[in-house]
Amino acid sequence: ERSSFSLDTMSRIIFYEDKNFGGRSYECSSDCADMHSYFSRCNSIRVESGCWVLYERPNYMGYQYVLTRGEYPDYQRWMGFNDSIRSCRTFTYTSGGPYRLRIYERSDFGGQMMEFTDDCESVHDRFRFRDIHSCNVMDGYWTFYEQPSYRGRQYFMRPGEYRRFSDWGANCAATGSFRRITDF
């Protein structure tokens, strides 16, 4: 018999081939580097518990999507560029824990620096620069977005040092917004 603690902390996500939770489905509770044999397309998702990073291609490559608990009846709801999900990772964090990151104007933590503990809807408005070339995530998990108002390509940021934008998987330094990952 499983303890209630392990049930409370277990992550669970269900992928559906069709919109509105229809068609073949696949349930997952841990990281999976290649899901192509379980379903051919993904048009809706239910996140029952935990936080997840989904990837467009196998081996945690391609577009990233950060999802928390909730229902996503079509891929536009998770800001998907298409119906391709080929790998996923789950992560846990302390809800309500501290959040702190530093962004830098130049790579290797050079140039102007600004520290944040809260969401930022427009990097340009708050930081004066449109580009973030390096970043130090001290506390919490964050999502970077290519465009302001939490739109465009997403990048999952866990605690650590990112000396250049390619360290978080970006092709360019353009960062329009970012926010804390919280589970409601």
Residue (of 12, 36, 32) closest to 24 by Cα position: 36
Cβ burial, residue 167 (10 Å; 0-12/13-18/19+): middle
pTM score of the predicted model: 0.85
Q: How many CB atoms lie within 10 A of CB 101?
A: 23
Let me know: does 180 contact 99? Beta carbons within 8 Å.
yes
If you average pLDDT over residues 169-175, what whole number do you get?
Answer: 94
In order of their start, the domains of the chain are 12-91 (2.60.20.10), 100-180 (2.60.20.10)
**CA separation, residue 96 to residues 4, 117, 126, 139, 176 (Å):** 21, 12, 24, 11, 24
Name the pLDDT band for 2 (thresholds 50, 70, 90). very low
Q: What is the pLDDT of residue 93?
A: 67
Task: For residues 128 and 175, give the distance between their C-alpha atoms in angstroms, rounded to a whole number.
Answer: 12
Q: What is the pLDDT of residue 183?
A: 67
Q: What is the pLDDT of residue 96?
A: 72
Q: What is the pLDDT of residue 92?
A: 75
Contacts of 18 (CB under 8 A, 6+ apart): 43, 44
Q: What is the pLDDT of residue 36?
A: 92
Summarize pLDDT for 8-29 with one digit per residue, the tens: 458 999 999 999 999 999 999 9
- The DSSP call for residue 58 is T
Let me know: does 21 contact 77? Beta carbons within 8 Å.
no
